[in-house]
Structure 1
Amino acid sequence: MPFIEVDAAYTSQHCPRCGHTERANRLTRDQFGCRRCGLAGPADVVAGVNVRDRARSAWVFVTAPAPSP
């Protein structure tokens, strides 16, 4: 099974809905709450969504056909 390694920095502070990244988005060790749009949920789930989205973005570049000269 193929996989892509992505940088996990700030994934638990970044809102997957509006893109706002702030340390205060991490309400507690276990809870996420976006200060801009109000998205809330378990911090690990939000971080997982962000990691998945980063991997999907990177996958486009890995699977893109090589440019022709």
Structure 2
Amino acid sequence: LGKSGADADAYAKEVVHSDFEEAGDNDVFRKVRADFDAAGIAQSDAQIRTAMEELLVTAVEQIRST
């Protein structure tokens, strides 16, 4: 979405907050899908889900290293 700095931090918090809506990651996917659509960013559902899986691995690695 081209966000950086405080805007990126605020968006990350919105995404995390959306994860509390229901079990699993479908709530996060719906948010990201809607935000990409609203911004005119062409990404397939498969591309978004793949990125989510890769970023989850990165997040786990970051948590383990702290």
Shorter-normalised TM range: 0.3 to 0.5
* Larger helix percent: 2
The normalised TM-score by structure 1 is: 0.42
* Larger strand percent: 1
The normalised TM-score by structure 2 is: 0.43
User: Per chain length, whose mean CA-contact separation is higher, i.e. which structure has more relative contact order (CA < 8 Å, sep 6+)?
Assistant: 1
